[in-house]
Chains A and B, each alone.
Chain A
Amino acid sequence: MARIDPEVIESVSPGPLGSKSLVSKITPFQAFSILVGFGTAFLILYPFLRVLIRLFWVDGSFNFEPFRNVVELPNLGQLIFNTFALVIAGGGLALIIGFVLAWFNERTDARVGALTDILPLLPFIMPVIAAAAGWVIIGAPRAGYFNYYIREVLELVGIHMKEGPFDIFTWYGLIFVYALYLIPYPYLLISAGLRNLDPSLEEQARVCGAGLRRTLWRVTLPNVWPNIAGSALIVATIGFAMISVPILIGTGAEIEVISTRIVRLLNFTYPPRMAEAVGLSVVVLVVLVGIWRLQARLIRGGRFATIGGRAARGRRIELGKWRWVARSVTFSYVFLALIAPLYGLLITTLNGFWSPKTRWGQLTLDHFRTVLWFDQKTRDSLFNSVYLGLVGATIGMIIAATISTYVQRSTGKASTFIDGVAKLPAAVSGLILAVGFVLAFAGPPFRWHGTLLILLLAFIATHMPSGSIAADGAASQVGHSLLEASYVSGASESRTFWRISFPLMLPGLVAGWSLLFVRYAGDFQASAILSSTRNQTAGKKIIEIYEMGSYAYLAALAMGLTAISALIIGVTFALTRKRATISVV
């Protein structure tokens, strides 16, 4: 291993040879954490188990019917092929581009301060469902704005096209959009890996005469391998769970994937074909578990140079004129992922209907107002989503923070169990969990059918993994020695948490909160099953409107949702910017 700075060991591994160093008696603080942990576990496991039992356990014996039904599904082979092809192609593309963007920013002089650091993360502001809607509007072969503009330009040079040149409703269109919205994840992870890479490794290679490409291939890549593998796992997990993109774009392309089929089975057939839906979900679960184990084994087998602590940043590779080429790649990404679809949504809303021939002189906010303000139902759905987002993200992050702090400090079965359960929903389709919620809480004795409460609980359960990962990151920022120094100064566990852990975790927690907000507000999966006509969410409404074909309406709602998300993220970012640069000694 490369130089290991002792302070980093303290924050990475809790004590010599991996033992955790705190007292074993249960304090009130720990009791509270355990309560929260098990409560959350119940919230996640109980619905899931209800689903499994309902399907696989009939009249006291194991029932294989659902598997048989799955196997007998029409076009099953095509379905599975489509899903895998999209995830592999889109995910693979995302990994490569994510790596390139991360490398440009961390290792070359293409970086422009904090601007290029956050650029690839901007797409997080926009709920994926809104982005997908935007891409439909700009990428449709005939009426899509992009295509229209390109055709107009081509006319000038005498080329006449009736439609195209691009068509979002194709394989490549779908892969493109998949990749666009998966890129931020590998970017984040690989950036972190490159940042922590001891620069002397690369410098050593260069001193020995290795050229740029060779250094990259032989030194850099192998050492960020864990980050790449981790990104691959996240990309696969999110890829399999992608639903708004396949619904909005895949249907038009007549490419069906597992998640859209699950929606169809649950929502658009009567009676709902739950058995097959769950069966399909189990297929995804098995694949993901397989990838997890593969990743774990790959990482264990390697030797990776880790962190040089407070080491000075190595010299960045100088690209000279090529700097601007690199920067334009980053800018292009943001343009495509955020600005382009946003433009589509905005113009359509201001225009009043979807047409590439924009009536520039007649742009108005009227339609925006009509849709969002005057239409009761739409206003309510937006309000519900924002409300659920604010309340839910807060509760979700508090739970995540409590669990992460507890898990960081204790070993033992309870701790591993709670940690695992908090990440479990990542592997199970949100739709299935939502079905579980129906089974578990909609009827007696709870009777929460159609309420905001059941939506809230389902959101908390479904999106727990994001919050948990963010909270884990925040908690690991607080080195063990900082906590230990507090204990030996005479502070109790609870005092240590409130005075030391929490303030230091806060920036990370707030960042996690804002990302959770965007997820809750833009949620479609749990909403598809659990929202009633009384309590609709924006995500559900968007799909409804899409089915009806009213694109201006769709655009307005998607714009509204995005605007609110952007506002919330902007505000929280501004508030925490100062504190975010604390270096934890």
Chain B
Amino acid sequence: MEDIVVEVRNLQKTFKRADGTQVKAVDDVSLSVGSGECIVLLGPSGCGKTTLLRSIAGLEKPEDGEILINGETMFSGNRNLEVPPQNRALSMIFQSYALWPHMTAFDNVAFPLRSRKIPKGEVAEKVKQTLELVGVGELAEQHPSDMSGGQQQRVALARALVAGDDLVLLDEPLSNVDAKVRDQLRRELVEMQREINFSAIYVTHDQIEAMELADRIAVMELGRIVQLGPPREIYERPSTRYVANFIGTVNELPGTVRDITLDGNVTVSTELGDVQSLGEEGLREGSEVVLIFRPERCSISSQQVNGGHCWRGSVNTSSFFGSHTEHQIIMTKQISFVVWQADPKQFSYNEDVWVTVEPTSIRSLPSETHEVVDESH
């Protein structure tokens, strides 16, 4: 049986700008997080992910909706109930670390325990343990200003874990850290979460981070959750153009639906000819769509190939990226495709090539970018 640690229902939060206009930061969002699950809220600046996180923490007061943690209501618009953040059973890591500069690492990490009136001896032991766990045991007597960014973030993590809360909220904790350290910390976060088994809600705009950390990703736009699902599902079966473009790179080919079969095969007429693809419900004959496929799902060759769709284009760039080679191919004046190959062979500018892709790798999506699908688990 799965325990639900956090449940958010129909949350609504609006901000008023200085000039009086209202902005819906969180627009009727529902979400639940299970025990031991890591949900990543993913989206660009202004999509509402941080506001949602802060509302769950109790640092923002929503207008309407409900928030429950471990079955207890923390916020209810109807009942006008609001539990302050200090009484919610969760901890949080901030983007700027938010370590108190006048305290040592030890005191920083001990603070949550002392606030809960835990006896002195226990405090010392727990703090030492947690600092060791995150790998900064020897920095206990240092002040934050004497540490590197990575070390500070580890102390912040220790402070979040020390009280043993089931739920940890993370607000873009790795964006202030160098790339190499970020990779390292990210891996450690995954391990730690697996080991200690806390639930996490993680906010980020970095989709690579999202893919690595998440059990499920909630892609957000303009205050709404556009798609919610495991990383693979989001990547392979994005529900809208917005999601497809946000996660990874994607090739787009606009067209109009010519035919739909019952098992979801969609024939689309495009500038490059008719294309077979897989589609979702809601598409009709005549719908404007965009065909999408991933760069690693297509291939490139100097001669025409049989099987699948094969189109002719000319090379614009062909760059070696180490793990793969990236080719930009111009198909028509408006359309160009990106192709990734493991083969390090590079083509020359203006060379004629053929791009091949299987229909099973192509999806049809409605062509409006901002169709929002309200999904709750």
Q: Is A6 in the interface zone, CB < 8 Å from B?
A: yes
Q: Are B86 and A584 in contact (CB under 8 A)?
A: no
Smallest beta-carbon distance A486→chain B, Å: 7
Q: Are A484 and B15 in contact (CB under 8 A)?
A: no
Q: Is A504 in the interface zone, CB < 8 Å from B?
A: yes
| B264 contacts across to A, CB distance below 8 A | none
The chain B residue sitting closest to A300, CB to CB, is B18
Q: Is B339 in the interface zone, CB < 8 Å from A?
A: no
B 87-126 contacts with A by CB, 8 A: 87-88, 90-92, 94-102, 111-112, 115-116
Q: Are A491 and B111 in contact (CB under 8 A)?
A: yes
Q: Is B58 in the interface zone, CB < 8 Å from A?
A: yes
The chain B residue sitting closest to A9, CB to CB, is B96
Which of B111, B116, B176 makes the CB contact (< 8 A) with A486?
B111
CA distance A217 to B15 in the complex (A): 39
CA distance A583 to B115 in the complex (A): 25
Contact flags B42-57 to A (C-beta < 8 A → 1, else 0) = 0000000011001001
Contact flag A24-B16 (CB < 8 Å), given A6-B96, A490-B116 = no
Which of B23, B59, B61, B152 makes the CB contact (< 8 A) with A487?
B59
Smallest beta-carbon distance B62→chain A, Å: 11
| A484 contacts across to B, CB distance below 8 A | 57, 59, 85, 92, 94, 98
Contact flags A304-344 to B (C-beta < 8 A → 1, else 0) = 00000000000000000000000000000000000000000
Q: Are A583 and B101 in contact (CB under 8 A)?
A: yes
Smallest beta-carbon distance A4→chain B, Å: 11
Q: Is A157 in the interface zone, CB < 8 Å from B?
A: no
Contact flag A15-B60 (CB < 8 Å), given A487-B86, A489-B111, A585-B99 = yes
Smallest beta-carbon distance A575→chain B, Å: 15
| A488 contacts across to B, CB distance below 8 A | 57-59, 85-86, 88, 90-92, 169
Q: Are B96 and A23 in contact (CB under 8 A)?
A: no
Q: Are A582 and B102 in contact (CB under 8 A)?
A: yes
Q: Are A16 and B15 in contact (CB under 8 A)?
A: yes
The chain A residue sitting closest to B162, CB to CB, is A489
Q: Are A485 and B98 in contact (CB under 8 A)?
A: yes
Q: Are A24 and B61 in contact (CB under 8 A)?
A: yes
Smallest beta-carbon distance B126→chain A, Å: 14
Q: Are A21 and B60 in contact (CB under 8 A)?
A: yes
CA distance A482 to B269 in the complex (A): 57
Which of A10, A21, A499, A500 makes the CB contact (< 8 A) with B96?
A10
Which of B51, B98, B144 makes the CB contact (< 8 A) with A16?
B51
CA distance A15 to B99 in the complex (A): 18
| B85 contacts across to A, CB distance below 8 A | 23, 484, 487-488
Contact flag A495-B115 (CB < 8 Å), given A17-B15, A481-B94 = yes
Contact flag A16-B111 (CB < 8 Å), given A10-B96, A488-B57, A582-B102 = no
Q: Are B82 and A25 in contact (CB under 8 A)?
A: yes
Q: Is B145 in the interface zone, CB < 8 Å from A?
A: yes
| A211 contacts across to B, CB distance below 8 A | none
The chain B residue sitting closest to A18, CB to CB, is B18
Q: Is B237 in the interface zone, CB < 8 Å from A?
A: no
Contact flag A489-B102 (CB < 8 Å), given A19-B15, A21-B59 = no
Contact flag A583-B145 (CB < 8 Å), given A482-B98, A488-B85 = yes
Q: Is B291 in the interface zone, CB < 8 Å from A?
A: no
B 112-142 contacts with A by CB, 8 A: 112, 115-116
Residue among B54, B96, B100 with the highest chain A CB neighbour number at 10 A? B96
Q: Is B159 in the interface zone, CB < 8 Å from A?
A: yes
Contact flag A489-B23 (CB < 8 Å), given A481-B96, A481-B98, A484-B98 = no
The chain A residue sitting closest to B110, CB to CB, is A489
Q: Is B329 in the interface zone, CB < 8 Å from A?
A: no
Q: Is A492 in the interface zone, CB < 8 Å from B?
A: yes
Contact flags A211-226 to B (C-beta < 8 A → 1, else 0) = 0000000000000000
11 CB contacts below 8 A, A to B, read A15-B54, A17-B15, A21-B61, A484-B57, A484-B85, A485-B92, A487-B85, A489-B86, A489-B111, A491-B86, A585-B98
Instruction: State the B residues within 8 Å of A (CB).
Output: 15-18, 23, 25, 50-51, 54, 57-61, 82, 84-88, 90-92, 94-102, 111-112, 115-116, 144-145, 152, 159, 163, 169, 176
- For the complex of A and B, 5 pairs with smallest distance between CB atoms: A7-B96, A485-B98, A489-B112, A481-B98, A17-B15
14 further interface pairs, Cβ-Cβ under 8 Å (given A499-B111, A585-B96, A585-B98): A16-B25, A19-B60, A23-B61, A482-B98, A484-B59, A485-B94, A486-B100, A489-B112, A490-B115, A490-B163, A492-B115, A504-B101, A582-B101, A585-B97
